[in-house]
Amino acid sequence: MDINQIQEKVNAFLVDELEIDEAKIADDARLKEDLGIDSLEVVDVIVLVDQEFGFKMRPEQFKDLKTYGQFCRFIEAQVG
Amino acid sequence: MQRTLIRLFRFLPLGVLYGCMALVIPFYMLFGKGFRAAYGFFRKRMGYAPVKAFTHVYLNEFEFGKVVLDRFAAFAGKRFRMDAPRIDLFESLCRRPEGFIQLSSHVGNYEMVGYSLKSPKRLNALVYGGETATMMENRAALFGETNVRMVPVSEDLSHIFVLNNALADGEIVSMPGDRVFGSRKTVSCRFFGEPAQFPAGPFVLAVQREVPVLVVFVMKKGRREYKVILERLPRQTEGTRQERVQALADAYAASLEDVVRRYPDQWYNFYDFWK
Burial class of residue B31 (count of CB atoms within 10 Å of its CB; 0-12, 13-18, 19+): exposed
Phi, psi at B200, each rounded to 5°: -75, -30
CB-nearest to A63 from B157, B185, B209 is: B157
pLDDT at B130: 67
Q: Which domain holds residue A58?
A: 3-79
Q: A44: which chain B residues are within 8 Å (Cβ-Cβ)?
A: 204, 208
CB-nearest to A40 from B183, B209, B241 is: B183
Binary contact (B208, A44; C-beta < 8 A): yes
Interatomic CA distance for residues B1 and B187, integer angstroms: 39
A27-31: Cβ within 8 A, 24+ apart: A27/A67, A27/A68, A27/A69, A28/A67, A28/A68, A28/A69, A29/A67, A29/A68, A29/A69, A30/A66, A30/A67, A30/A68, A31/A65, A31/A66, A31/A67, A31/A68, A31/A71
Sheet holding B213-222, edge to edge: B81-83, B225-232, B213-222, B100-104, B172-176, B123-127, B148-152
Residue-wise pLDDT tens digits, A17-39:
888 999 999 999 999 899 988 87
Displacement of CA B40 from its chain's centroid (Å): 22
Q: B201: which chain A residues are within 8 Å (Cβ-Cβ)?
A: 39-40
pLDDT at A58: 79
Question: What ranges make up the beta strands (E) of B17-147?
Answer: 81-83, 100-104, 123-127
Which B positions 194-253 lie with beta carbon below 8 A of chain A?
A: 200-201, 204-205, 208-209, 241-242
pLDDT at B122: 94
Q: B184: which chain A residues are within 8 Å (Cβ-Cβ)?
A: 38
The pLDDT-based confidence of B10 (bands split at 50, 70, 90) is: confident
pLDDT at B105: 94
User: Integer distance in angstroms from the first to the last C-alpha of chain B?
Assistant: 34
CB-nearest to B208 from A43, A59, A62 is: A43
Burial class of residue A38 (count of CB atoms within 10 Å of its CB; 0-12, 13-18, 19+): middle
If one counts the domains in chain A, the total is 1
Residue-wise pLDDT tens digits, B201-246:
899 889 988 999 999 999 999 999 999 999 999 988 899 888 999 9
Tell me which residue of B126, B38, B110 sits closest to B67, measured CA to CA. Answer: B110
pLDDT at B172: 96
For the cut 90, the answer to whether the pLDDT of residue B85 exceeds it is yes
Pick from A30-39, B69-78, B176-185, B253-262 the range whose average pLDDT is largest.
Answer: B253-262
For the cut 90, the answer to whether the pLDDT of residue B26 exceeds it is no
Higher per-residue pLDDT: B222 or B5: B222
Cβ–Cβ under 8 Å, residues B200 and B89 = no
User: Integer distance in angstroms from the first to the last C-alpha of chain A?
Assistant: 7
Higher per-residue pLDDT: B28 or B199: B199
ipTM above threshold 0.85: no
Say what angle helices B241-262 and B201-209 make with each other, to 10 degrees.
130
Catalytic hit among A2, A27, A28, A38: A38
Binary contact (B205, A58; C-beta < 8 A): no
Lowest mean pLDDT among A41-45, B76-80, B99-103, B195-199: A41-45
Binary contact (A59, B161; C-beta < 8 A): yes
pLDDT at B144: 76
Instruction: Check which CATH number belongs to the domain holding A52 and give it.
Output: 1.10.1200.10
Q: Going by C-beta distance under 8 Å and a sequence separation of 6 or more, which residues neighbour residue B198?
A: B177, B178, B180, B186, B187, B188, B189, B191, B249, B252, B253
Q: What is the CA radius of gyration of chain B?
A: 19
Higher per-residue pLDDT: B81 or B183: B81
Displacement of CA B4 from its chain's centroid (Å): 26
CB-nearest to B241 from A17, A59, A60 is: A17
Interatomic CA distance for residues B203 and B177, integer angstroms: 8
Q: B163: which chain A residues are within 8 Å (Cβ-Cβ)?
A: 43
Give the nearest chain B residue to A65 (CA atoms): B156
What percent of chain B lies above the pLDDT cut of 70?
98
The pLDDT-based confidence of B181 (bands split at 50, 70, 90) is: low
Residue-wise pLDDT tens digits, B111-159:
888 887 788 999 999 887 667 777 777 787 777 777 889 888 887 778 8
Task: Mark whether A38 is an active-site residue.
Answer: yes
